[in-house]
Amino acid sequence: MTDDPAPDARQKAALSAAFCSAACALPKSIDLAAMFTMRLWLEKAGSSDAARIAAHPSHSFIPPPFSLPLPTLVTLLPGRNECVFSPLPRSTLYELPPTPPPSPPTTPPSPLAPPPHQPRPYHCNPCAEPTRSPGEDISSGQLRECLRTFLKRTLQHTRLSTQCLFFALLLLVRLKRASSARRTSPHPTALFRILGVAISLADIVFNDLSVPVQTWTNVMELALHEVVKMKAEFLQAVGFDLSQTGHAGFLDGVIFPLLRGV
Q: Does domain 27-37+141-249 have CATH number 3.90.245.10?
A: no
Whole-number Å distance between alpha carbons of 143 and 141: 5
Provide the pLDDT for residue 19: 54
What pLDDT does 249 receive?
60
pLDDT per residue of the chain (262 residues) written in tens, 0 to 9: 445 555 566 656 655 655 554 445 567 777 777 777 777 766 544 434 434 433 333 323 333 332 333 333 433 333 333 333 443 433 333 333 344 445 555 555 444 444 444 444 333 333 323 333 333 455 677 778 888 888 888 888 888 888 888 888 888 888 887 777 666 666 666 778 888 899 998 888 888 888 888 888 888 888 888 888 888 888 877 777 666 565 566 666 666 665 665 4
Which pLDDT score, from 0 to 100, does residue 98 have?
Answer: 40
Write down the pTM of the prediction: 0.54
First to last CA, the chain: 21
Tell me what pLDDT residue 113 has: 44
Specify the pLDDT at position 128.
29
pLDDT confidence of residue 36: 75
pLDDT at res. 192: 82
- C-alpha gyration radius of the chain: 19
Interatomic CA distance for residues 232 and 239, integer angstroms: 11
